Chains A and B, each alone.
Chain A
């Protein structure tokens, strides 16, 4: 059975002859289960309190427009039933030393403030008076004691230390019947000994605030593609209607601004690979769920490799989706109006035009996450495929890619960590 170390008291333990997988997103999970089923002992560490990474907050995958939870659930059950996998949440690397076959890795483990006695009964959340910052698209914020959703893994509550008032409140302590709440639990440090390391540290969206012309910081109704994805996911989960952040009205016209920061020497000079497919996916999702919404996508090139081309085919027949080859120069608030005005250089028509939208989605690109270790990077900050022997970077740690490519790369990386 998967060894859940997420909420237990930790000792400094030495575990030899095993592989450390850093990052519990879809790539890290894949690497870990593939290795464990091949007979390897695996330690999987994830910095957040739940596994699944970015994709666990997604509404759907392209090109099939299917829910990520479906594949994640299979993977979680593979973890649950495999005694060769040990996993930690809230865990990040402090240092790596040693060499191929004999690494010593120090890991900091933040407490969940709820230990493994948690049965996920939910009483703590019921009485918890504190609410985490409301995410876009959510009508009801999560309490300080929370699980992110009904298919989360591990299925155990944790407490957000940034919001919780501690023992001064103590309401959860009163109701918990299982002695699971430890509001004063301290961070722990674990040293593990491993033979190989796979780094699947994942990605973060490029900072939209740096695109000053797009008014992301000033305008509530300018959101990133990841935020929009999460808004849609909340609608699916809570069975609610999409509303825009500023005033709660249902937007009628939504603009998607492609290459927001990508393919731009002042920001990310590479192409982030996923954003075209993602925006088409969003437009198609709106098309099937919201007959009142029209979408317009402003793009330079529509980049849809392989099967993803299908998204473009599907969009072409849709009356409520418009594709415009053009670069968005500026997004400003319309004077005295509750709309956003896009200044667009329309390449096909050869004109500059201004258009009103209720909500603007910036198709932001991907940037790599880094771990605390000296690894070789390329000019864009992604890890190079070749590192010192025994360390294997995987998936979006090496470059921008979509889920299907990340899973395929994570599987290949598992084998690279098995080199003798």
Chain B
């Protein structure tokens, strides 16, 4: 939001929904006027009603208000009602987080409401004007890396929506793994038709035998150098990465007799059926390396279907052949079940559940001992002319992207080396803004799924280009137009911001000076929290704006016996949980003063020391769950908070304060009961510790 010129603040107070019964509105505006002389204040018994909004608009207009504090319900409701053209509006959550959770009419409740209003006004008073950031040169072409089935699909779908696509493939032909197989399985993908379509598409440029030398820049304005003398650098707005997979190294499966000429992998067998007739007895070993803690812990998803498909080839190419399939579970989800039944109906295909005991080449045949079979005898011995190992899927490295990023050339990986972040709710997202992962590099999947995946990642790539061109952030703070600004004169090149940014937004000079790339930024503010020199800030979220909020609250002296607890609440999960506590009317202590933060990782140490020297008795930080199954929308904000906690303890020691005065808690969004308990337990604990000795100093 752009706000220009003089700063005309005002407060609009709603007394509806129980707020008026909980607090004294006149007294509140009186207190506010003590701090902000002559500030226009409005109260209304239903500010969001038609009459209320009308009054609010004319009030704002006549007073030429450009910064407005609306003290009413949570910012999570009535957002449209209270957004006003040309006015920076911030909300004081008096309903869910004061009136509904604290004793009505009590002095402490009143003080809390007054402080929360003063805090938001202090923020409005300290924030700066903002103009959106848009890269100087904007490009709307999309780069697709990898010409497999996912890459082809991405290119065709993007082109169909009207975007120009550059499709780069390192080998001499398109199609990837799918291009090398005998026939596609139950799905009816006509790969050669897709390849022809993409080669001939007027909006798709295909680069074969082309390797990426570097990708630099930021979303909206990437520059891509390729090793192919005929092509100058490509200028693109975003990237879809479909670097594909490789079969699991069968060399590691010597226990399954790999190395013998009678033992092949799925991939090798797929090639051989294109040149020779399969022998009379073929045995498939499923999960060869997959679902195995010593090899690949995950299920590679495609192998059951692929083996069933090959069983059909064998029967077609050599009607005399018998096929054995030894499986742990046959996994043919959805409509693939029909295909499974089709293969099962073939009387020369024998399937048995079992665990492979041993595979040994006897010279003229291979002997396979199957333990834990379902047949009458628990252990059976099967013989075959050929054993096919259904080896799993290993994602290819994304280092081939050659990102010229301070944090590395490839995409960060999660468990099992797949590049991905929030794979349930927000697939395709990676930790590199504007670069979206598709296909088998982000999860094991078959061809049909890869094809869908290419389209999905292209959607994100297009969306990124459009968002950047409007000066807006992408997921999860979609639409945010603020971005980090650095006061370089005071920067000491300590590199913390460049190292801690989860999204690799910052590059670095040789000296270590940070080079921001604002459109790579997701606006989490972790760099604000990381900077010991306090030189990084957003126009409406900065060291100063939060410090001002902290200091705006009135801290009574120790003889009043009214402790004060500052609570930093992560906006993503903890804040909605706190609102839900309000909706369920779960009472919590009126001694807390709440400041919503973009991510716990954005909390700067100076805010903590400011709070302690201002006289708060304790500080509570509540954020999302860290760890492998993290829920932090900014990947490692909560984890950083834990790490930084150790430093904070040192600060406390130097201030001769008890370490318990600062505590960090993690909640899930549904834990409104827990968040109430966390707050109340903490306030109780603090009362035992006693007042902060820095009060009144």
Contacts and interface: CB of A to CB of B under 8 A. Distances in A.
Interface of A: 1-4, 33-34, 37-39, 61, 64-67, 69-71, 73-75, 77-78, 80-82, 117, 119-122, 147, 149-151, 155, 177-179, 236-237, 239, 263, 269-273, 301-310, 312-313, 325, 347-348, 350, 378, 380, 399-401, 403-405, 407-409, 411-412, 414-416, 418-420
B332 interface: yes
Given A71-B422, A119-B73, A271 B336 contact: yes
Nearest to B45: A177
B337 A236 contact: no
A121 B353 CA distance: 59
A33 B479 CA distance: 11
Nearest to A410: B456
Contact of A408 (B291, B444, B453): B453
Given A74-B425, A237-B670, A415 B157 contact: yes
Nearest to B453: A408
A420 B162 contact: yes
B670 A411 contact: no
B629 interface: yes
16 contacts: A39-B466, A66-B631, A70-B572, A70-B631, A119-B17, A150-B580, A271-B333, A271-B337, A305-B299, A308-B299, A310-B298, A399-B334, A408-B427, A411-B455, A418-B161, A420-B161
A235 B428 CA distance: 33
B455 A415 contact: yes
B152 to A, nearest CB: 14
Interface string B576-598: 10011101100000000000000
B322 interface: no
A350 to B, nearest CB: 8
A273 B463 contact: no
Q: Top 8 nearest A-B pairs by Cβ distance? A: A71-B425, A150-B580, A1-B80, A412-B455, A411-B456, A415-B459, A301-B329, A412-B456
A404 B333 contact: no
B122 interface: no
Nearest to B451: A412
**Which of A67, A81, A313, A412 has its CB near the most chain B CB atoms (within 10 A)?**
A412
A148 to B, nearest CB: 11
Contact of A309 (B50, B298, B672): B298
Contacts of B673: 239
A3 B584 contact: no
Contact of B427 (A70, A411, A416): A411
Nearest to A268: B337
A347 B576 CA distance: 48
B455 to A, nearest CB: 4
Interface string B666-677: 001110110000
A418 B465 CA distance: 15
A403 B157 CA distance: 23
Contacts of B66: none
Q: Is the interface of B mostly helix, strand, loop or mixed?
A: loop
B465 to A, nearest CB: 9
Interface string B137-161: 0000000000000000000011011
B466 A37 contact: yes
B43 interface: no
A305 B423 CA distance: 14
Contacts of A69: 576, 669-670
Contacts of B415: 307
B253 interface: no
Contact of B49 (A34, A117, A151, A409): A117
A345 B76 CA distance: 53
B46 A119 contact: yes
Nearest to B668: A67
Nearest to B77: A155
A418 B459 CA distance: 9
Contacts of A177: 16, 45-46
A67 B629 CA distance: 12
Contacts of B456: 408-409, 411-412, 415
Contact of B330 (A81, A147, A301, A310): A301
B540 interface: no
Contact of A271 (B298, B334, B422): B334
A399 B427 CA distance: 19
A74 B17 CA distance: 26
Contacts of B46: 119, 177-178
Contacts of B158: 415
Contact of A78 (B45, B77, B443, B478): B478
Contacts of A380: 335
A273 B293 CA distance: 24
